[in-house]
Structure 1
Amino acid sequence: MDKDSLSCVHDRIKPHIHRTPVLTSRLINAIAGANLYFKCENFQRMGAFKMRGATNAIMQLSEDQKNKGVVTHSSGNFAQALSLAAQRLGVCAYIVMPKTAPQVKKNAVKDYGGHIIECEPTLEAREQTAKQLVQTKGATFIHPSNDLNVILGQATAGKEFLEDYPNLNAIFTPVGGGGLIAGTAIAVKHFGKNCKVIGGEPIEADDAYRSLKSGQIESNTTTNTIADGLKTQLGSVNFPIIQREVTRIIRVEESEIIDAMKLLWERMKIICEPSSAVALAALLKKKDQYRNQQLGVIISGGNVDLSKLPF
């Protein structure tokens, strides 16, 4: 994947996504001791960066594949992203969701035109149900984070960021399934100037941190974190990119995630979900190491259950 190819991806999906704004806060700059720039993907269509990858993945399918539809398994943002992207592109989307998924998320998927198939709340059940849909409907499976076309779509957020602020010293992103941080790393490689990519991850779901240490994909036995969007693990497509291009992953406590989320709500007046706040929490935890630098933070999404705020 070269610079021109990524530009082609961006041009392809531009009619279907928002170019999201970059916001700043003098108060947060003072707290961090650096100049921070927040790429606000919480203002993206359907409220998260995942609209980019879902759109690119569908647009890369053949007409025959589009006619037969797409399928994914997700209880969160990718379920909504694939549903909306498919609706905009005239494609049927089958969304496998666990029975325990919040009703607010199921309602959003339905509003975006997705067809929900419920399953037991286990990864095995999700994968098996999706596989059955591929077999019975002829639909194409699109993984939320371990698909190169999805990753390249996510990379366009970093590309836009660096077009607006080309002298960033580092970009911080949250780490869940690995699609956003891998995409950001690709964008930084081609559009950055000595820019580093740094991940933030909950200590309660630190599989990516451990994967970089061990050199192989690790799993979590428990995921007791408020950052529900980060409970997934890395995959075979994005992990090698992360190994090559990501500088470090910083682990944060639950209290640090909540404090960062509260700071964004109170001081920047924006709605962000807990997973988004992890990137800022990571930066603030190690702020002494990044003093006086130009730092980018990707606010990955704003789809939060207002009845379950942690503050």
Structure 2
Amino acid sequence: MWPYTNCDVVVDDNGVGFRYSFSALKDRHTAVEVNYTDPQNGWQTSTELVEDPEAILRYGRNLLKMDAFGCTSRGQAHRAGLWVIKTELLETQTVDFTLGSQGLRHTPGDIIEICDNDYAGTLTGGRVLSIDAATRTLTLDREVTLPETGTSAVNLINGSGKPVSVAITAHPAPDRIQVSTLPDGVETYGVWGLSLPSLRRRLFRCVSVRENTDGTFAITAVQHVPEKEAIVDNGARFEPQSGTLNSVIPPAVQHLTVEVSAADGQYLAQVKWDTPRVVKGVRFSLRLTSGSGQDSRLVTTAITADTEHRF
């Protein structure tokens, strides 16, 4: 499972390396009618209805009609319909990116891992700057933040050119990590990718590798959910973990401070605050009032994307 990081991809004119797209809502079916050859019906065509009640409540009933070619079992027809539903509901993301010669590290059908710092909202991949074999310590090309609880791992490339996952045992400095074992053949400037307990590994299945005229390779891959087979065959419950620390939920404001000062007979109020997590595109609405309770009155308002403002 080869990891690709921001250090591997060729950025476009807009400074974007990984480009994402999502399936349309109309393409996410919540019910399927599967036609199959039924031996219990004189080898005539029967129809098996497969539905996802939870998805219907969320998205509405979106019906797909399909033929299961060569299917002579009702159970097999049910599985085919359920597989389509779970595929369309769980694997909704597509990624496109461009690589140098590393585009030949995988072929269509292979599972790859995307370690995109921008999408994750934290640093999850880069290059190894130096290796201390005696202490099994790696110096990375950037500072990383590891959670205080849970087990973190790092994916490295061994001497055979294969990715190997090893546990992180210590974090002696912001840009250094100590691993449980050092894979044979790990070299400086090799790729590393973090696996954090707070983030889901972002796996994709490569569908195409196209060579460009400038010697680069254009990659297209679709989201891969390895739990899908257990969901379809065994009825496993699956609550997908987020692959990013960024959130669409507005963050709570914390550490709010107000400093009031007088200048030229007027009062100035400097307001500062922060948030526990980053949400792109969020803006804060501020209201300055005087007095308290029923005697309070609105003085002015402001909207800002910064975490400080002066009234």
Same fold (TM over 0.5): no
Q: Output the TM-score relative to the length of structure 2.
A: 0.25
Q: Output the TM-score relative to the length of structure 1.
A: 0.25
Q: Which has the higher helix share?
A: 1
Structure with max Cα Rg: 2
Tell which has more relative contact order, 1 or 2 (C-alpha 8 A, sep 6+): 1
